[in-house]
Amino acid sequence: MMRQFIFIVCFFIFAAAGHAQFTSTSKKAVSRLQSAQAAYRAKKYKDAITQAQEALKADAAFVEPYLLMAAVYAETGNIERAVDMYKQGFLVNADFFPNAFFDCAMYEMRLGRYAEARDHFNQLIASAKGSEKLKQQAAMRLPWCDFAAYAIAHPVPYTLISLGDSVNSRFPDYWPSLSADKNTFIITRRLPVDSYTPYGSSNFQEDFYISSLKPDKTWTSARSAGFPLNTPDNEGAPTITADGKKLYFTGCNRNDGKGMCDIYLSVKAEAGWSKPRNIGAPVNTAHSEKQPSASADGNMLFFSSNRPGTYGGLDLWVTRKDAMGKWTEPKNLGPVINTTGDDCAPFFHPDGKTLYFSSEGHIGMGAFDLFVTRMDSSGKWEKPENLGYPINTTEHEEGIFIDCEGKRAYIAVTNQKEKDVDIFSFDLYDKIRPVAVSYMKGRVYDAVTMEPLQAMFELTDLKEVKTVFASVADTKGEFLVTIPAERDYALSVEMRGYLFFSENFTMSGKATADEPFFKDVPLHKIQPGQKIILKNIFFATDSFNLKAESKAELQKIVGLLNDNPFISAEISGHTDNAGSDEYNLRLSENRARSVVEYLVSAGIVSTRLIAKGYGELQPIAPNETPEGRAQNRRTELKIINR
């Protein structure tokens, strides 16, 4: 039973036991009320209403029957009638049980009647007999009434578009999650267990269904994920990693569970999805861990839990993988995000800093609202912002998903008239958008044998020299790396025994993401004569001073040489054809020497390194275009012996 009923129900039980005075002296009215109380406790709600009405016929000034009928209507979902009963009871005797003002006001908030709710909260606060604890809660709810009234008067842009019959069904569909390339769109569908038992609270199970976006921007027909992902147990609240290869989800009351709800993992291989496994301690405990959201590279996992250390009911937590790929002890996201209420349903965007979640503890429309917060460069969370009305309503909003581009959201919406739940999309207004994210997708393979390689790839923020994405190619050598806009990045692809691959992405000043990048990456084994272009070594124009943004690439070279202590390398500088031959030769030599000097300062023995300048003598592209000249201005590393 909901918390709002506690005081009323306790009162009725107390009165029924003969320990309280009724407000009526009519024996017939009291007898009918006692019959109504007995019917209520037996959950015979129709009889309870009938007997309460008979009590009022015997004594129209009897307040208790109104409060009992309010409790019955509230418990059976007829909130509007419950409020009517409260109000009629208040007209008869407003001072009899002032705690009922709180319940009435909460239901009025559910109905969007915020001015009336404010009045009833204030009546409770002003009463002499009301519960002091409830008065404090009522005072805390007054700003909610003000916020909601303002939000309704100032709606945010919001146009829902149904995903149509290809995704939605005649059964409830919810909890969407989408891979970066939109090839895997996974939802939860609530299905009847059999066709014989009436479809209700017990005759259902949750399974996963999968769709994908077609070239014409329509969705394929959602199909069951099948065994072993779907089982006779419930599977729900999925999150798929950006590459579409790993699926985390919630499983409750399972034989291998550690608590009521646990987080499970399934991995996609050539044969399909693997048998889900419980990810175990330290993430899962004897309590509930659920509603996971994985970072784009799969190295962070956000989830909700009521484990010890919460600020209220459910809190948001995060766990990170260590160097061995094991989940570390989860950390609470702290009081900026978590409240004394329930905070749940996290979604961490691939931009690596924007978190959306649902909360009943932050000021909102009255139930669970959607919020957004962002992590700053120091790792601290900003104050959460309500997404606004009509994204948030008097109903329960949770389970939002935002695409990589940061423009479109997906959410399940309940059709109150038809009592159905379907998935819709809508465009986010600018203020609540995350940073736009593009991605690079391809395959890593041996340049000679063409065999796929399970190479490591890492995206580094050049300004902060900070890894923002790190993962490993799958058994087919396939990979996908997300690339947030507004920053410049170095991408390196590495595997022991091979020269690393270097790529640069200049995204500074771009508020939107480019079209995806598709690139296959051949890796060359470390042997004399093999060379790589160091695309993340930077110099100012006409200068041989290394820019700070070069540090990430320089450290990769240090790592390569330390891991292979028996090789020597030539660092060569190259220019375009602007300027004289003599000038270009001298500039290229000085630039190569600057790189060598850095490597020596980092501990590499100088006898293993040669600095060589070639000027404009070895172009790799025509010098007739700006793009060609940019390619020719480069630094290379070549293995000279092993």
Domains detected in the chain: 3-153 (1.25.40.10), 161-432 (2.120.10.30), 437-641 (3.30.1330.60)
Q: What is the pLDDT of residues 466-505, one digit of tens each?
A: 888 888 999 999 999 898 887 889 999 999 999 999 999 8
| Angstrom distance (rounded) from CA 107 to CA 126 | 20
Cis omega before residue 282 (within 30°)?
yes
| Angstrom distance (rounded) from CA 124 to CA 143 | 16
Q: What is the pLDDT of residues 109-124, one digit of tens each?
A: 999 999 999 999 999 9
Q: What is the pLDDT of residue 204?
A: 81
pLDDT at residue 555 greater than cutoff 80: yes
3-state secondary structure of 209: strand
In 3-state terms the chain splits into helix, strand, coil percentages (rounded to 5) of 25, 30, 45
Q: What is the pLDDT of residue 20?
A: 56
Task: Please provide residue 345's backbone torsions phi and psi, each rounded to the nearest 5 degrees.
Answer: 50, 60
Contacts of 589 (CB under 8 A, 6+ apart): 573, 611, 612, 613
Question: What's the token pair of residue 353?
Answer: 């800093």
Q: For residue 506, what pLDDT band results from cuts at 50, 70 and 90?
A: confident
| Angstrom distance (rounded) from CA 585 to CA 22 | 103
| Angstrom distance (rounded) from CA 95 to CA 269 | 67
Provide the 10 A C-beta neighbour count for residue 520: 11
| Angstrom distance (rounded) from CA 488 to CA 486 | 7
Q: What is the pLDDT of residue 514?
A: 59
Q: What is the pLDDT of residue 198?
A: 55
DSSP string, 11-69: HHHHHHTT-S--S---HHHHHHHHHHHHHHHTT-HHHHHHHHHHHHHH-TT--HHHHHH
Q: What is the pLDDT of residue 469?
A: 87
pLDDT at residue 89 greater than cutoff 80: yes
Q: For residue 143, what pLDDT band results from cuts at 50, 70 and 90?
A: very high
Q: What is the pLDDT of residue 17?
A: 42
Q: What is the pLDDT of residue 237?
A: 94
3-state secondary structure of 560: helix
Question: What are the E-state strand segments in 151-276?
Answer: 161-162, 173-178, 185-191, 205-211, 223-224, 236-240, 246-252, 261-269, 272-273
Question: What's the token pair of residue 75?
Answer: 């418990």
390 Cα distance to chain centroid: 21
Q: How far apart are the first and last CA of the chain?
A: 75
Residue 481 CB-density burial (10 A; 0-12 exposed, 13-18 middle, 19+ buried): buried
| Angstrom distance (rounded) from CA 444 to CA 544 | 33
Residue 376 CB-density burial (10 A; 0-12 exposed, 13-18 middle, 19+ buried): exposed
| Angstrom distance (rounded) from CA 234 to CA 220 | 24
Q: For residue 2, what pLDDT band results from cuts at 50, 70 and 90?
A: very low
User: Which stretches within 94-211 are classed as H helix?
Assistant: 100-110, 114-126, 132-153
Question: What's the token pair of residue 388?
Answer: 């606004």
Residues 535-557, mean pLDDT to the nearest whole number: 93
DSSP summary character for residue 606: G
Q: What is the pLDDT of residue 269?
A: 85
Residues 340-352, mean pLDDT to the nearest whole number: 96
Q: What is the pLDDT of residue 486?
A: 79
* Highest-confidence segment of 72-76, 97-101, 594-598: 594-598
pLDDT at residue 4 greater than cutoff 70: no
| Angstrom distance (rounded) from CA 344 to CA 358 | 5
- For tokens 């404009």, the residue is 616
3-state secondary structure of 517: strand
Q: Are 311 and 339 in contact (CB under 8 A)?
A: yes
Cis omega before residue 390 (within 30°)?
yes
Q: What percent of the chain has pLDDT over 90?
A: 80
Question: What's the token pair of residue 179?
Answer: 């891979």
Q: What is the pLDDT of residues 204-217, one digit of tens each?
A: 889 999 999 998 98
Q: Which residue has the higher pLDDT, 416 or 276?
A: 276
Cis omega before residue 350 (within 30°)?
no
Q: What is the pLDDT of residue 6?
A: 44
Task: Please provide residue 444's backbone torsions phi and psi, each rounded to the nearest 5 degrees.
Answer: -105, 135
Q: What is the pLDDT of residue 196?
A: 61
Q: Which residue has the higher pLDDT, 543 or 200?
A: 543
Calculate ∠ Cα 82-85-86, nearest 5°: 90
| Angstrom distance (rounded) from CA 10 to CA 20 | 12
Question: What's the token pair of residue 444?
Answer: 């890593």
Q: Is the dihedral of CA 196, 221, 402, 421 positive or negative?
A: negative
Q: Characterize 414-437 residue by residue with b for buried, 16 or more Cβ atoms within 10 angstroms of its Cβ, and e for exposed.
A: beeeeeebbbbbbebeeebbbbbb
Average pLDDT, the chain: 91
Q: What is the pLDDT of residues 619-635, one digit of tens each?
A: 999 999 999 999 999 99
Q: What is the pLDDT of residues 222-245, one digit of tens each?
A: 999 999 999 988 899 999 999 999
| Angstrom distance (rounded) from CA 317 to CA 331 | 5
